[in-house]
Amino acid sequence: MTASGTLELPGISDGNFRIIAGIAKNYAGICLSEKKKSLVYSRISRRVRQEGFSSFDEYCVFLTSDAGSGERQHLVSALTTNVTSFFREKHHFTYLEHLLLQKLYSRLERREELRIWSAGCSSGEEAYSIAMTVLKSLSGVPNLKAKILATDIDPDILGQARLGSYASVEAEALFEEGALPFCRLESGRVVMSDKIRDMIRFRHLNLIEPWPFSSCFHAIFCRNVAIYFDRETQDRLWRNLSERIFQGGELYLGHSERIAHPERFGMESMGYNAYRKVSSGGKRS
């Protein structure tokens, strides 16, 4: 027993670790090396106890059975990291503002629809920050048409994102960005306004499986998602993302992600973990 009275589980055997790592890789593209064993232990043992299994052996037998398909989804949710915040990696929002004001403004004035994708959106702060940047930058465009797609593999975190309600401690970042007018305070929480929420569609999507749409975007945020993918999976993702960006559009990655030789995917580096689509292959915007 632990001090809190819960059952202490014995460590994960090599065989069980391989089962868990195999599911993470096949289902979500996440690569877990042996070094991650203690992290896996701490994240999964809670799940094992919660579901009433007495050992990792028992849990892994269930995971690999036909009845375990739902649990495999929960396993992946427990293994993924959902850390995010409003206006995280601020420079990308500055690039986006520049793209909107310098390159797209006149086309948007002519009623072209603006399309942006937050791929791996977690609890939604990234998508809401994009929406606020769009509204702030384009307040002078009458009848603006703007759509933001926000996707994630984790259905639970998408549920939180759809609520658009955050602990008031997050209000500080919004205040600093002059974004508080897009929110209201409700029972000590910051809640996104209807105008902001109406711009965003939250959808379940696994980035390593075929995508159920063929539309292109002016900008894609895919940040701090591919960090756990192996090189081959990352390259496939970069190619697929590039195909969904209009020529001249931009792709933003997380602080420890970069594309080696972006020209392989018709892109060029344009700043800090940011890439511009230069050659055709995707549609022209």
Ligand X SMILES: C[S@@+](CC[C@H](N)C(=O)[O-])C[C@H]1O[C@@H](n2cnc3c(N)ncnc32)[C@H](O)[C@@H]1O
Count of C-beta atoms within a 10 Å radius of residue 254: 18
Positions 71 through 100 that interact with ligand X (CB under 6 A) = 80-84, 88
Two tokens, residue 122: 């977690």
Q: How far is the CB of 69 from ligand X (least distance, A)?
A: 17
List binders of ligand X among 163-192 (CB under 6 A): none
Is 43 an active-site residue? yes
- The pair of three-digit structure tokens given for residue 265, joined into one six-digit string: 């995917």
Q: Work out whether 197 is an interface residue with ligand X (CB under 6 A).
A: no
> Element (H or E) spanning 263, and its range?
none
Return the ∠ at Cα 45 (arms to 50 and 229), rounded to 5°. 120
Among 48, 99, 138, 207, binds ligand X (CB under 6 A): 207
CA 140 to CA 43: how far, in whole Å? 47
Binding flag, residue 240, ligand X (CB under 6 A): no
Q: Which residue has the tokens 């403004």?
A: 105
Name which position in 20, 116, 138, 153 contacts ligand X (CB under 6 A): 153
254 binds ligand X (CB under 6 A): yes
Residue 135 engages ligand X in binding (rule: CB under 6 A): no
Size of the site for ligand X (CB under 6 A): 23
What is the contact mask toward ligand X in residues 105 to 124, using x (rule: CB under 6 A)?
A: ---------------xxx--
Contact 220, 119 (CB under 8 A): yes
CA gyration radius, the chain: 21
126 sits near ligand X (criterion: CB under 6 A): yes
Is residue 257 within 8 A of residue 227, CB to CB? The reply is yes
CB of 94 to ligand X, least distance (A): 16
- Of 72, 88, 115, 152, the active-site residue reads 152
DSSP-derived secondary structure letter, 284: B
User: Least distance (Å) from ligand X to the CB of residue 284?
Assistant: 27
Tell me the residue type at 11. G
Give the Cα separation of 233 and 226 in Å (integer). Answer: 8
Q: Could you tell me the sign of the dihedral formed by the alpha carbons of 255, 222, 274, 88, in that order?
A: negative
Nearest approach, Cβ of residue 127 and ligand X (Å): 9
Q: Which two tokens stand for residue 127?
A: 């998508």
> Given the complex with ligand X, which of 28 and 96 has the nearer CB atom?
28
Q: Could you give the residue numbers annotated as active site?
A: 43, 152
Q: Which residues bind ligand X (CB under 6 A)?
A: 28-29, 80-84, 88, 120-122, 126, 152-154, 157, 206-208, 223-225, 254
